[in-house]
Amino acid sequence: MRALVIIMLAVAPAAAEPAVRHVPPAAGEAGKQVELVAEAPPTTPTLVAHVRLHGSGTFQAIDLVRKDDAHWVAVVPAATVAVPGIDYYLDAGGQPVFASAEWPHTMDVRASPQAERRTRDSIRAEGRRSKVETMGEWVEFGTKAQGVPDHYYRVDADFSYRLWTYPLEEIRVGYTRLLGDTLQSPDKMCPSSDACSTKAGFKVAGWFELGTAVIEGLRLDGRMSVLATQDGFGVGGRGELRVGAREGNHVAAGVEYLATVGTNGFFRLGWGTVPHTPMSATVEITNLPASYRDTGVRLYYDLGFEVYPGVRLNGRIGYAARTQSVAGFTAGGGAAVEF
């Protein structure tokens, strides 16, 4: 009889305690509020959630409010939900009903997919978001028998900034100069070889480019240009579709149109097997520096070498041919500074 009384006295306080049931959320997303829901009868003393960033010392008290007759909810502010997680416990009238201050429950918090992607891009760029780059090249298609030269030089300079506000990844603004000598248009008479030669290209072109990527690793660059050509002002454009990282392993194809100056299409294979030394090989089909010229083919190889953190020198060497019997070379160089 005495043993029965002891058991009844031990059970009585537990039976008097409110029946509070809480199922913790599996995980949270950084920067998004989290709801902590508890199931409890209406007579339950005031329910309070005590929340803190995982491992920090101070808990923030958040009162649970009635959601319906049987459920109560505490909303953890988005600013509190951060990586790597939050610690919390619940009490009713000051008595712990789920976990405790000494042994809180930890809910994992993961970064948002966009934040994780931004982190990966930042690691690849070594934290540098801005870049100034310049590139110059000479393209020689060779000289025909009548002595008319067929070549041009091109200079590009630009500034780019990595926004990482997906799908918009990057913006670029730049300047291009392209001037050369080539054969006159067939519809013009040329009594001598000297008279058959003409200047082609443009001295000034400004352009604006957007780099977009809805899917990570698949990027589309689009450019609009305004040119001051030999025949007056004109417009141009450039598009490039790329799989992979521009300064690493990638495959790219694109096309560029430059008003009356010409059009070129290209296919590029790049690799970054040697650290800080990006390389690529490009095949280009073009009629530059004049849109009426026969189509030529260029094959060139690019090599970059980082001489100092964020500072890279670039070199280019290649082959150019307008016809099967006459060919020339491509050579160029430049530099890029990232910060």
Question: pLDDT tens digits for 242-292?
Answer: 999 999 999 999 999 999 899 999 999 999 999 999 999 999 999 999 999
Cα Rg, the chain, nearest whole Å? 34
Q: What is the pLDDT of residue 6?
A: 36
Query: Who has greater pLDDT, 187 or 209?
Result: 209
323 in a structural domain: yes
Mean pLDDT computed over 151-167 = 97
Domain that holds residue 67: 17-110
Q: Which residues face 3 on adjacent strands?
A: none
* Cα–Cα distance measured from residue 307 to residue 321, given in angstroms and rounded to the nearest whole number: 33
pLDDT band at 7 (very low <50, low <70, confident <90, very high): very low
Question: How would residue 326 be classed by pLDDT, with cut points 50, 70 and 90?
Answer: confident
Residue 165 scores a pLDDT above 70: yes
Query: Residue 270: CB partners within 8 Å, gap ≥ 6?
Result: 244, 246, 247, 248, 249, 250, 251, 252, 278, 279, 280, 281
180 lies in the same domain as 241: yes
> Is residue 7 a part of any domain in this protein?
no
257 domain-assigned:
yes
Q: 57 and 92: one domain?
A: yes
Q: Which among 84, 110, 136 is the end of a domain? A: 110
Q: In what order do the strands lie in the sheet with 65-66?
A: 21-22, 34-39, 71-76, 65-66
Q: Is the pLDDT of residue 135 over 50?
A: yes
Classify residue 4: in a domain, yes or no. no
- Quick check: is 12 in a domain? no
Q: Which of 86, 110, 134 is the last residue of a domain?
A: 110
pLDDT band at residue 241 using 50, 70 and 90 as cut-offs:
very high
Question: What CA–CA distance (Å, rounded) separates 198 from 207?
Answer: 26
Same domain, 257 and 204: yes
Q: Which residue has the higher pLDDT, 107 or 187?
A: 107
Which of 9-18, 55-64, 136-145 comes out lowest in average pLDDT? 9-18
Query: Could you tell me if residue 5 is inside a domain?
Result: no
Does the CA dihedral 30-210-126-268 come out positive or negative? positive
Q: Is residue 115 part of a domain?
A: no
Give the total number of structural domains in the chain. 2
Which helix (H) or strand (E) segment is 160 a member of? strand 151-165
Average the pLDDT over 158-170 and give the result.
97
Is residue 9 very low, low, confident or very high in pLDDT (cuts 50, 70, 90)?
A: very low
| CATH number of the domain that residue 47 is part of | 2.60.40.10
Look up residue 30 and give its two tokens: 């950084």
Res 11: pLDDT:
41
Where does a domain end: 59, 88, 110? 110
Task: Give the mean pLDDT of 155-176.
Answer: 97
Q: Mention every residue, 6+ apart, whose C-beta is less than 8 A from residue 9.
A: none
Residue with the bigger pLDDT between 154 and 43: it is 154
pTM for this predicted structure? 0.79
Q: What is the pLDDT of residue 3?
A: 41
Residues 145, 274 share a domain: yes
Q: What distance in Å separates the CA atoms of residue 281 and residue 271, rounded to the nearest whole number?
A: 9
| Residue 147 banded pLDDT, cuts 50, 70, 90 | confident
Q: Tell me: do 99 and 199 sit in the same domain.
A: no
| 65 and 163 within one domain | no
- Residue 32 burial (CB count, 10 A): 11
pLDDT of the residue at 5: 37
- pLDDT at residue number 311: 98
Report the CATH number at residue 262: 2.40.128.130
Q: Is residue 127 part of a domain?
A: yes
Same domain, 72 and 136: no
Question: Residue 194 pLDDT more than 90?
Answer: no
Which pLDDT belongs to residue 1?
40
In degrees rounded to 5, what are phi and psi of residue 5?
-60, -40
Shared-domain flag, residues 262 and 175? yes
Determine the pLDDT at residue 303: 98
Predicted confidence band at 138 (pLDDT cuts at 50, 70, 90)? very high
Q: How far apart are CA 218 and CA 325, in angstroms?
A: 39
**Are residues 27 and 101 both part of a single domain?**
yes
Q: What is the pLDDT of residue 318?
A: 97
274 φ, ψ to 5°? -100, 120
As a whole number of angstroms, the distance between CA 297 and CA 264 comes to: 9
Same domain, 40 and 158: no
* DSSP calls for 89-155: EEEETTEEEES-SSS-EEEEEE--HHHHHHHHHHHHTTT--EEEEEEEEEEE----TT----EEEEE
The region of weakest confidence among 55-64, 189-198, 319-328 is 189-198
Query: Of 273, 239, 270, which is closest to residue 256 (Cα–Cα)?
Result: 239
Over the chain, what is the mean pLDDT?
A: 90
